[in-house]
A and B are shown apart, each in its own frame.
Chain A
Amino acid sequence: MAQNVTNVAQTEEVTSTRRVIAASSVGTLIEWYDFYIFGTLAKIISEQFFPKDNPTAALLATLATFAAGFVIRPFGALFFGRLGDLIGRKYTFLVTLVIMGGSTFAIGLVPGYKVIGFAAPAIVFVLRLLQGLALGGEYGGAATYVAEHSPEGKRGFWTSFIQTTATLGLFLALGVILIVRQTLGIEVFNDWGWRIPFILSVFLVGISIFIRMKMSESPLFAKMKKEGKTSSNPLAESFQKKDNLKMVLVALLGATAGQGVVWYTGQFYALSFLQNACNIEFVQSNMIISIALLIGTPFFIVFGSLSDKIGRKWIMMLGMLIAVISYRPIYTVMYSEANLKLKEEIVEKTEKKEKFDVKGADSLITTVTTKEFTDGTKYKETVKKKFPVDPEVRAAMPKDKLKPETKKEVTLPQDLFYKMIGLVLIQVIFVTMVYGPIAAFLVEIFPTRIRYTSMSLPYHIGNGVFGGLVPLISTRLVEFTRPAPGAPPADPLFGLWYPIIIAAVCFVIGSLYISNKTNNLDTE
């Protein structure tokens, strides 16, 4: 009889924990999805809301891309972290979900610049800031909430489900965009179809809110609140008390900064490198990333679970170390596999087509050149040259306005396509090593009364600032190696030095100063 009661209690506990994980993970997944669709559709959004000929709008475009990514996220972490430590985890991360879902849905409804003028980029800018703010508050809440429900010795495993959501959110965003784009066609998608992934968010968020509303408060926080032990000023306690500040710093410099750069390099930089340095065609490059993400995702759980057994530290450190050592070799292979100069062209299959159009006062010459190579690689180059029909107007125009637009697309054969997936997958594995155990690591080094605030800030500075800057700084580093404007870079891999240096420093700091001991969560 007593055995039966114990079994029933255990089954109920497992079911309850599963419900907690599901409710938290689905919400966090949707938040990441919402955040990524803006980034993935940045080019279309820029055309719709931020016209290049308006300098203020162009500046807003840059700020919207970067500000929400790294300036606002830490502020969201502070604001909602404080709230979470004062009023509770459950309601706080419910609010972040509503803000994120609401602003994403609203972006999908904002009329373009052509319809409402400057109000359009201004509204989108504000909505993007709200997205960043909400994301800053969400992750810490979800990780803390799950960790505080998890049984001792299984925290790494249970929180690793939260860790899968960032990658799955990116996968979901890429998947939805690809499906909508393929279904509607490129022109319709660029015209209004891009709004669908944003509008779709409202249904996903609605479901998630419904699930989260039914959840109860974290047991540790509820106990502290009942006993009157919650912090009255979590911000001051987190960052003005030396004992806690030193843990915030070691978390940032020894773990989250390295995690951030490895995470962004393995996913976003890899996609950007495939599209811009290797010129891999849009759908194929997205497929490479999507498949690698899908295969790699279970490893978050593998490494999260392993960290319960052997400790969090060395799994994260090993992930950083292998990334530091292998990034350049991996990207060298990626670059050479797509490098047309190393391939043999089938000259008789080369085709060149020219089309001449007149649109209003402008003439448009489109030249499409297609090539095939012996290994099965296909290449398409589209050059669009637009110029005024009137020779006098043409002569008066600045030279850079007459510069042709060139689009290069490389389509790899199946064997190289799989090889690329493999090369990206290796990087995703590094991501899972550094990211899988990190939620458990962060929640364990801070006390319950200020956990939400304390863990959110280093996470969002590491992931948002150090990681979020990977595309900007790496692209800039490559530019340094360009001998002349417009000339190909002397070292297309030079941009990797930013993540390599940050991860290397983080590895040394983490190895020296982080403890491999897993701590129990306190209730003091």
Chain B
Amino acid sequence: MTVIKRIFGLLWAAMGLSIIPLAIMRAMQEIAEKPTEENWIFWSIVIVVLMPIISFSLITFGIFALKGEYNTLEA
């Protein structure tokens, strides 16, 4: 189980990292296509609020898991 926890740690960190360019590219594409107020508000919320929380927490959590910090917790 400890090996699985560590391997998945890599996955969480990779997920957290990949979300950043994906979200920014999608936001830029959508705003360029339709620069409406609705689009600006929606993507601002995603980029300023949601994305940093998801990325930061997944990357940090992934690194902790990879280092085996959660191995002492019984699943």
Q: Which residues of A contact B (CB under 8 A)?
A: 55, 58-59, 62, 66, 70-71, 242, 245-246, 249-250, 252-253, 461, 465, 469, 472-473, 476, 508-509, 511-517
Known: A246-B64, A250-B61, A253-B61. A516 touches B74 (CB 8 A): yes
Q: Determine if B70 and A469 form an interchain contact, defined as CB atoms under 8 angstroms apart.
A: no
Q: Determine if A62 and B41 form an interchain contact, defined as CB atoms under 8 angstroms apart.
A: yes
Q: Determine if A253 and B75 form an interchain contact, defined as CB atoms under 8 angstroms apart.
A: no
Bound together, the chains give a CA A223 to CA B45 distance in angstroms of 43
Bound together, the chains give a CA A237 to CA B17 distance in angstroms of 27
Closest chain B CB from A61 CB (angstroms)? 11
Q: Determine if A249 and B42 form an interchain contact, defined as CB atoms under 8 angstroms apart.
A: no
List A contacts of B1 (CB < 8 A). Answer: 512
Q: Is B65 an interface residue (CB 8 A)?
A: yes
Closest chain A CB from B50 CB (angstroms)? 6
Known: A245-B60, A249-B61, A472-B42. A512 touches B8 (CB 8 A): yes
What is the size category of the interface that chain B forms with chain A?
20 to 34
Q: Determine if A513 and B74 form an interchain contact, defined as CB atoms under 8 angstroms apart.
A: no
* 5 CB-based A-B contacts, threshold 8 Å: A59-B41, A66-B45, A465-B53, A509-B61, A514-B73
List B contacts of A512 (CB < 8 A). Answer: 1, 4-5, 8, 75
Task: Bits for B36-72, please: 1 = Cβ < 8 Å to A, else 0.
Answer: 0100011001100110010001101100110001100
Q: Which chain B residues in 1-21 approach chain A with CB under 8 Å? A: 1, 4-5, 8, 12
Q: Determine if A515 and B75 form an interchain contact, defined as CB atoms under 8 angstroms apart.
A: yes
Bound together, the chains give a CA A37 to CA B49 distance in angstroms of 24
Bound together, the chains give a CA A70 to CA B46 distance in angstroms of 12
Closest chain A CB from B59 CB (angstroms)? 10
Q: Determine if A513 and B45 form an interchain contact, defined as CB atoms under 8 angstroms apart.
A: no
List A contacts of B5 (CB < 8 A). Answer: 512-513
List B contacts of A242 (CB < 8 A). Answer: 64, 69
Known: A66-B45, A249-B60, A253-B61. A513 touches B73 (CB 8 A): yes
Q: Which of B41, B53, B60, B75 contacts A511 (CB 8 A)?
A: B75
Q: Which of B4, B45, B57, B58 contacts A472 (CB 8 A)?
A: B45
Closest chain A CB from B17 CB (angstroms)? 15
Closest chain B CB from A503 CB (angstroms)? 14
Closest chain A CB from B26 CB (angstroms)? 11
List A contacts of B46 (CB < 8 A). Answer: 473
Q: Which of B8, B49, B64 contacts A71 (CB 8 A)?
A: B49
Known: A62-B41, A472-B42. A517 touches B61 (CB 8 A): no
List B contacts of A245 (CB < 8 A). Answer: 60
Bound together, the chains give a CA A245 to CA B65 distance in angstroms of 12
Q: Determine if B41 and A513 form an interchain contact, defined as CB atoms under 8 angstroms apart.
A: no
Q: Which of A71, A465, A508, A513 contacts B70 (CB 8 A)?
A: A513
Q: Determine if B75 and A513 form an interchain contact, defined as CB atoms under 8 angstroms apart.
A: yes
Known: A253-B57, A472-B42. A515 touches B69 (CB 8 A): no
Q: Determine if B64 and A249 form an interchain contact, defined as CB atoms under 8 angstroms apart.
A: yes
Known: A246-B69, A250-B70, A469-B50. A514 touches B45 (CB 8 A): no
List A contacts of B61 (CB < 8 A). Answer: 246, 249-250, 253, 509
